A = this chain, B = another copy of it.
């Protein structure tokens, strides 16, 4: 089996972890859990030279130096650093990497801002998936649901095609609450975690079939690309013209020969401060504290500082996140409301976004 080429997607700029994650320094470039940034943890996870080639990294051009420095710091320098002039979601980003790779290369597509606590389970799932990918399957890794989450897509498992691997019967985009509960009860559905393994050529083949305009734009962007060492700058005009579409919509849902390998690997996309609270072990008072924090007679709080000292007395069930520029305060369980804050930051206050 040839070695796998990790494709690390670092183009996101989510603000769900505001004020730590911001346009100028998104989540994946921050140490959200532990001391490594999420990008570094992602790269280190696929650093074993017996299994993996050097990664291809797709990032926002604004973050080029930071991405390069972070990867160098964990000895995970990419074979190619593809720098998007603008974000166009995952289908074009993966197309850039697939066109840059050999057609026969096995690509392991990895978001750079997910946590995987059980790395051995992940490695085993990759070992299960690799022969299928080599045979032409587009493999997605299915996350075993532990709650009726409405924020993720689901995959319906079909017939078992190899031990621990199933044909994907159907992709379902973010369901409503009742549907999500039915999926959870059914047991035959996995979350779509956004991690994929396939041959580069197979992805491009399906993209050509189901979203040929995207492939055409990306191909044109690479034909006009500028190269500097391992850096690759796609031609901005054609890339900007690419339709913004996720791989799920553009390829995985309509395509043939999709497999799912379910895996329990302690996965989280750390999609909110509440999610972070759930991931990190709390102290005896039920508090999760990060950075300079003094908590007196306070319980069940997430108290995180990347800057000023946080001093809390007599509070419960709060999320407090402080940076040098902004302090977030909201009740636990309501961290999706961060979006209201980011939306409410007027032009005058755009510097806080």
Residues of A within 8 A of B (CB): 19, 292, 294, 296-297, 305, 307-315, 318, 320, 322-331, 334, 337-338, 340-341, 344-345, 349, 352
Query: With A and B bound together, what is the CA distance between A331 and B313 in angstroms?
Result: 8
User: Which residue of chain B lies nearest to A320 when distances are taken between CB atoms in the complex?
Assistant: B329
With A307-B308, A352-B309 as known contacts, state yes or no: A296 contacts B327, CB within 8 Å.
Answer: no
- Expressed in whole angstroms, the minimum distance between the Cβ of A283 and any Cβ of chain B is 16
Contacts of A313 in B (CB 8 A): 329-330, 334, 337-338, 340-341
Query: With A and B bound together, what is the CA distance between A328 and B310 in angstroms?
Result: 6
* 16 sampled A-B residue pairs with Cβ under 8 A: A294-B345, A296-B337, A296-B340, A307-B308, A308-B308, A308-B322, A308-B325, A309-B325, A309-B349, A309-B352, A311-B326, A311-B329, A311-B341, A311-B352, A313-B329, A313-B334
List the number of copies, as a whole number. 2
Contacts of A326 in B (CB 8 A): 308-311
Query: With A and B bound together, what is the CA distance between A313 and B18 in angstroms?
Result: 13
- Expressed in whole angstroms, the minimum distance between the Cβ of A294 and any Cβ of chain B is 6
Choose among B292, B294, B315, B327 the residue that contacts A344 (Cβ–Cβ < 8 A). Answer: B294
Contacts of A309 in B (CB 8 A): 19, 325-327, 349, 352
With A320-B329, A329-B318, A331-B315 as known contacts, state yes or no: A344 contacts B296, CB within 8 Å.
Answer: yes
Choose among B312, B324, B352 the residue that contacts A324 (Cβ–Cβ < 8 A). Answer: B324
Query: With A and B bound together, what is the CA distance between A128 and B24 in angstroms?
Result: 63
Choose among B311, B315, B324, B340 the residue that contacts A308 (Cβ–Cβ < 8 A). Answer: B324
Query: With A and B bound together, what is the CA distance between A324 and B294 in angstroms?
Result: 16
Contacts of A345 in B (CB 8 A): 294
Query: With A and B bound together, what is the CA distance between A327 and B328 in angstroms?
Result: 11
- Expressed in whole angstroms, the minimum distance between the Cβ of A16 and any Cβ of chain B is 13
Contact B320 A318 (CB under 8 A): no
Interface centre among A19, A310, A320, A330 (most CB of B within 10 A): A330
Contacts of A344 in B (CB 8 A): 294, 296
Query: With A and B bound together, what is the CA distance between A314 and B318 in angstroms?
Result: 10
User: Which residue of chain B lies nearest to A305 when distances are taken between CB atoms in the complex?
Assistant: B327
Contacts of A327 in B (CB 8 A): 305, 308-311, 320, 322, 327
Contacts of A325 in B (CB 8 A): 308-309
Contacts of A308 in B (CB 8 A): 307-308, 322-327
Contacts of A330 in B (CB 8 A): 312-315
Interface centre among A292, A296, A322, A329 (most CB of B within 10 A): A329
